[in-house]
Chain A
Amino acid sequence: MSRTPILMQGNQAIAEGAIYAGARFFAGYPITPSSEIAEECSKKLPKIGGVYMQMEDEIASVGAIVGASLTGVKSFTATSGPGFSLMQENLGMAIMGEVPCVIINVQRSGPSTGLATKPSQSDVMQIKWGRHGDQAIIALAPASVEECFLLTVKAFNMSEKFRVPVILAADEIVGHMRENFALPEPGEVEVVDRKKPEVSPDEYRPFEPQADYVSPLASYGSEYVFHITSSMCGPEGFSNNDAEIATWKIDQLHKKLEVHRDEIVETKTFLMDDEPEIVFITFGATTRVARAAAIAAREAGTKAGVLQLVTIWPFPELEVIKYGSNAKTIVVPEMNYSGQIAEEIQRLLGYNADIRRVNKYNGEVITPQDIMKVLSL
């Protein structure tokens, strides 16, 4: 990263990341704490041949990005919890239609209007299960301004590569945080474009079965003519309610993420080389706090380290088992009541595992002291 570092906000880095990844269409509805992403796009996209649209609501926003993406233009939207709830309907359509697009959710407190607009990490399960029907999703959680940028690029890359919508699960803390960050030069970070059809237009089917479960996607306006539907459909993309087709389609939606699991799942470790007895498992902003707690624990004479779940969905099961099984104590700090990530870890490590939860849901940030309290060091 050769440019001069500048003081940049997380939300601004997300907008920069999207543009770097090739996004040229943003459709959204303003909501704190994500609005800076829209503002940034409204300024930048017109200058580079892109289009910024402010829609009538978040339902329309996802509709518009799916429509635009099908013409071959990388598209995205940004919102927070209340808006994300509205987006679920057409996010389901994007999953069913296998349409690449990116949705940024800068999480805030709820339920409903909640503690507008204090930070929260309580949309973990909404991201995974918020839509009706059964489907898989990719979600990434940045913990710094640099990760806001890099994970936005990664979100686009994965959406293009696997023909799926991808969620960037940011939170108010990283979204509004300012840090020094040098924007990468073009070419410095990999940018992936979707697989285009190589068959003749007569032979093309938008959901042609592939060994890697990712069918090439043509664009509206090209020589290829194709049909995309929210209904259950076979390879040709037309509504089909046969039991065999339904099984094939649902398998396809899940398997495309299962077979590419290793490419999708990313974790980071901090002070984990000496098999620490205490392992903090974190995602998003709380990662930063856990790092400070790990240092404090080591200063108090106890080996501690951090496993950061960069990818939260699909859940990094292998990594949690690898780093969590030998730890004496696992600590999971998260800004929600129910321990949405802790429950997943408990599921993997068993209900006898010593998993200590640190939950804060009053709009205040979890502090290293909050974490140390459950350790009685």
Chain B
Amino acid sequence: MAITGEKFLKKDSLPHMWCQGCGNGVALSSLLRSFERLKYTPQDTVIVSGIGCWGKADDYIATNALHVTHGRALPFATGVKAVNPDLHVVVLMGDGDGVTIGGNHFIHAARRNIDLTAIVVNNYNYGMTGGQFSATTPADSITSTTAYGNPERDFDICTLAEAAGANFVGRSTIYHGRLMDNLIKEALSKKGFSLVEIISPCPTHFGRKNKMKTAVDMLNLYKQNGVTKDKYEKMSPSEQSNAILIGKLVDKDAPDFNTRYEEIRQKAI
């Protein structure tokens, strides 16, 4: 039987609120298929989401969920996991939520190596508030608050997670469906902090202002520019600046927070 993830979809909440051409629905279906593949149940899974377009995804998921304040999903998820290591805790954040307002929580969750899976959908801007620039908006991009171009540099979310100590880091785009499925499944299975960044089109705001008129234009760009590590490393710096590095980027097995806490606890008792 085909894996659809359907039993994790909360159908009575449909139709969803995302714009035409948005990648969130594609990311959501990939996540729900992974739940099915890994035989998760609504009872043993907790979705924690923040504020933003992708942060609305919990409304469409039939597992336990905790929808919290902007940028703070990781601390809430940390509390859930710290006292209940048996739960699968999955954190859904956008680029604004996850690494802009929530940047401090992001690096500390990775440093602590707490066994959470963060799925960060990066659409390079704050979609819900009208397309302002975020910490991942590329320099010179036009957004509703960078009318003449973005003067700031962008974060590389995967490099940030790696440097902060995450056990698993991978990046896909909405176009690379199979890769996205595999990365999410692997991230969920990995003990410790795991991150999957999904590059996703926001044609309504970001695309329209940056010469990518439709979602199709944006997906074509992902198709064209998405390169794996082997290929990326052979590129010149100028070629690299246009490329989107995709695939599995970090895969380690450092002990997670709960394991370490239990080791230390043994010294106390």
Contact = CB atoms under 8 A, between A and B. Distances in A.
B79 A65 contact: yes
B67 A56 contact: no
Interface in A22-52: 24-25, 27, 43, 46-47, 51
A280 B193 CA distance: 55
B80 interface: yes
A71 B269 CA distance: 24
Contact of B72 (A63, A73, A239): A63
A239 B67 contact: yes
B256 to A, nearest CB: 14
A218 to B, nearest CB: 9
B69 A60 contact: no
Given A25-B82, A56-B108, A239-B59, A64 B76 contact: yes
Contacts of B265: 46
A231 B70 CA distance: 11
B59 A238 contact: yes
B224 interface: no
Given A25-B82, A67-B48, A225-B64, A55 B264 contact: no
A51 B78 CA distance: 12
Chain B's interface size range is 35 or more
Interface in B61-95: 62-69, 72, 74-84, 86-87
A314 to B, nearest CB: 25
A238 B72 CA distance: 19
A331 interface: no
A68 B269 contact: no
Contact of A230 (B68, B82, B83): B68
Contact of A70 (B51, B72, B75, B80): B80
A27 B79 CA distance: 8
B64 A226 contact: yes
A56 B87 contact: no
Given A66-B76, A67-B48, A46 B65 contact: no
A68 B72 contact: no
A221 B78 contact: no
Contacts, number: 139
A341 B74 CA distance: 37
A275 interface: no
A53 B268 contact: no
B220 interface: no
A68 B80 contact: yes
Nearest to B63: A225
A19 to B, nearest CB: 14
Given A228-B66, A239-B67, A55 B43 contact: no
Given A47-B268, A228-B66, A229-B67, A67 B78 contact: yes
Interface string A88-100: 0110110001000
Interface in A319-344: none
A234 B15 CA distance: 19
A221 B63 CA distance: 11
Interface string A65-81: 11111110101000000
Contacts of B51: 230
5 contacts: A60-B78, A220-B84, A223-B43, A227-B64, A231-B67
